[in-house]
Structure 1
């Protein structure tokens, strides 16, 4: 049933990939990065994680602060231009090459697991 990829075991996916909803608490410019990204601090209730997120084309800093996002929280840390990105804020291509972040349709508790 995969659109372009082969099917996987749904149990393995839910066991391996941990996605949670968090609230963006701060947004900063990231001029040191090769791509146009923001430095985010995302609050998951029990902890705040950092993320380098390519949302600059569709969102201002003010639009992102306080919004809920969906993020993968168990990928480990990736260092980008000296910044430790600790989670991956997920999004989709809007058809014009810009990223639209995914969020719940209404507010949910921070740290809520996506399944």
Structure 2
């Protein structure tokens, strides 16, 4: 995969990426691609929902897991569901999404730098 076009550091600074803890996971059968409805506790920002293609994980594995989320994108309507944050991950060798998580626990709502 080729790298994307180079951008200024200011473009990265515009993103608000925070740590949150998954507190609820619901099935999302209406999604075009296999996905979960995932509720994330973002500390002082409250809880927000995301449609996330992280079905390599079971709901039991996800609940209590800390994840990295972009919190300042506008909501997206995905099959009638309002996805409020983007949960970040990378594609693994098997094509499934691997969550990006802090190496050590961090307070919910803390920003990435």
Q: Same fold per TM (> 0.5)?
A: yes
Q: Report 1:6-25 matches (<5 A).
A: 6-14=5-13, 16-25=14-23
Aligned residues: 111
Q: Distance in 1 between matches of 2:57 and 2:3?
A: 29
Which runs of 4 or more aligned residues in structure 1 lie more than 2 Å from their structure 2 counterparts after TM superposition? Answer: none
| Within-5 A mapping of 1:22-101 | 22-46=20-44, 47-56=46-55, 58-101=56-99
1:103 to partner: Cα distance: 0.2
The TM-score with structure 2 as length reference comes to 0.94
Q: Distance in 2 between matches of 1:27 and 1:6?
A: 35
* Residue 12 of structure 1, CA deviation: 3.1
1: distance between equivalents of 2:33 and 2:89? 16
CA RMSD after TM alignment: 1.0
Looking at structure 1, the residues matched to 71 and 65 of structure 2 have their Cα atoms a distance apart, in angstroms, of: 17
What are the ranges of 5 or more consecutive residues in structure 1 without an aligned counterpart? none
Aligned-partner SS, 2:43? coil
Q: Secondary structure at the match of 1:113?
A: coil
